[in-house]
Amino acid sequence: MKLVRSAAAALSVLIGCATSALAFPDRPVTVLVPWAAGGGADTVTRYVAAALEQELGVPVNVVNRTGGGGLTGHTAIANAAPDGYTLGVASPEIAFYKALGLGDFTPDSLDLFSRVALLPAGVTVKADSPWMSLDDVLREVKSKPKGTFTSSGTGTGGSWHLALGGLLKAAGMEADRVRWVPSQGGAPALQDLAAGGLTMFTGSPAEAKAMLDAGRVRTVAIMSEERSPSLPNVPTLKESKVDWTYQNWFALVAPKGVPADRRAKLTEAAKRAMARPEVQDGLKARGIQPVWDEPGVFPDFLKGFVSRGEAVLVDLGLAKK
């Protein structure tokens, strides 16, 4: 009789686990964004979340958790319960927190699913700026004392700061010649630019689309290999003989330890979501390249990305190791 009861109990547990797996998800899923609403990460996440909601059949809520140059939100993702109900969209800053001396947070702190979007950096100025080209910008920056001009778009040592530092170095100047003003993302930085509080914005022109369309700002160069289809009149850096490119990315991630069956279900749903026309067309119309990596591609990509970025941090005098 005891053996029968034990077998029945074991069968009950197995049935319960199977039912749980089949039912997942049976309540809303949250996607944490470490950057402010209206910026590039937020824009990408809302496209992905809307499509993921269709694939999972439950609400997918986007929550912005800002602060600490993205560290607050990324830490919140890593510390969330690994039950599959909390996901996150990570940015390149996860690769450099340790090098910046901000703690032991690294890409290994998260479960990396795939990149979902690529955004080349650019150089954007206020609409009434006298600078009509990248050459105008570089000539003026080189002729004035170090720190005369300012830029922003992320925290110190963040992705758009690296984009600027690499650009200046490639143009034959000190990487820190333009003073960096930390911000909680592209949206607040662009507001400061339009208000006259900043000289330039070195984030993605995709983040500036609304202001570009409204004639409040002007992008004079893009840091990609080729011109963007959404901004065909904006030249690349290489057209101005500056050998530097910088492409930001955002990636779908989760806290480590999500059960394998749930992770597999989330991965397949996200892959299908990224393939939906509304995601592909919506992101491309904003100058954002949608992407979904095959297994193993994203971790391999990160190795080269970290090496290149840390070299710029050294040039900026920010590397702590």
Q: At what angle do helices 159-170 and 297-316 cross, to 10 degrees?
A: 60
Q: What is the CATH number of the domain that holds 143?
A: 3.40.190.10
Give the chain's domain count.
Answer: 2
Q: In 3D, which of 34, 89, 32, 83 has the Cα closest to residue 61?
A: 32
- Whether 181 shows a pLDDT value over 90: the answer reads yes
Q: What is the CATH number of the domain that holds 32?
A: 3.40.190.150
Quick one: pLDDT at residue 39? Answer: 86
Same domain for 99 and 131, yes or no, is no
CA dihedral 51, 57, 59, 61 (to 10 degrees): -40
Quick one: pLDDT at residue 22? Answer: 65
Which residue in this structure is represented by tokens 């892959």?
A: 271
- Whether 182 shows a pLDDT value over 90: the answer reads yes
39 in a structural domain: yes
The verdict on whether omega for the bond into residue 205 sits within 30 degrees of 0, i.e. cis, is: no
pLDDT category, 187, cuts 50, 70, 90? confident
Q: At what angle do helices 40-56 and 260-275 cross, to 10 degrees?
A: 110
4 in a structural domain: no
Beta bridge partners of 60: 29
pLDDT category, 13, cuts 50, 70, 90? very low
Quick one: pLDDT at residue 21? Answer: 52
Residues 142-157 as b or e (16 or more Cβ within 10 Å = b): eeeeeeebbbbbbbeb
Could you give the residue ranges of the DSSP H alpha helices within the chain? 2-23, 40-56, 71-79, 134-143, 159-170, 186-194, 209-213, 260-275, 277-285, 297-316
* C-alpha to C-alpha distance for 146 and 207, rounded to whole angstroms: 27
Domain span holding position 289:
28-119+248-316
pLDDT category, 206, cuts 50, 70, 90? confident
**Mean pLDDT computed over 154-163:** 92
Prediction pTM value: 0.83
pLDDT category, 8, cuts 50, 70, 90? very low
Termini Cα distance of the chain? 65
134 in a structural domain: yes
Domain boundary among 247, 279, 308: 247
Q: Give pLDDT tens digits for 228-242.
A: 888 899 999 999 899
Q: At what angle do helices 277-285 and 260-275 cross, to 10 degrees?
A: 60
Same domain for 233 and 257, yes or no, is no
Domain boundary among 247, 276, 294: 247
6 in a structural domain: no
Same domain for 96 and 144, yes or no, is no
Quick one: pLDDT at residue 20? Answer: 47
- Whether 10 shows a pLDDT value over 50: the answer reads no
8 in a structural domain: no
Query: CB–CB of 78/109 below 8 Å?
Result: yes
pLDDT category, 18, cuts 50, 70, 90? very low
Domain boundary among 197, 220, 247: 247
Bigger pLDDT: 300 vs 174: 174
Quick one: pLDDT at residue 185? Answer: 85
3 in a structural domain: no
9 in a structural domain: no
Same domain for 137 and 203, yes or no, is yes
- Whether 7 shows a pLDDT value over 60: the answer reads no
Q: How long is the chain?
A: 321
Same domain for 82 and 169, yes or no, is no
Same domain for 153 and 169, yes or no, is yes
Same domain for 111 and 253, yes or no, is yes
Average the pLDDT over each of 13-17, 89-93, 240-244 and give the range with the smallest value.
13-17
Q: Give pLDDT tens digits for 255-289.
A: 999 999 999 999 999 999 999 999 999 999 888 99
* C-alpha to C-alpha distance for 262 and 115, rounded to whole angstroms: 19
Query: CB–CB of 114/275 below 8 Å?
Result: no
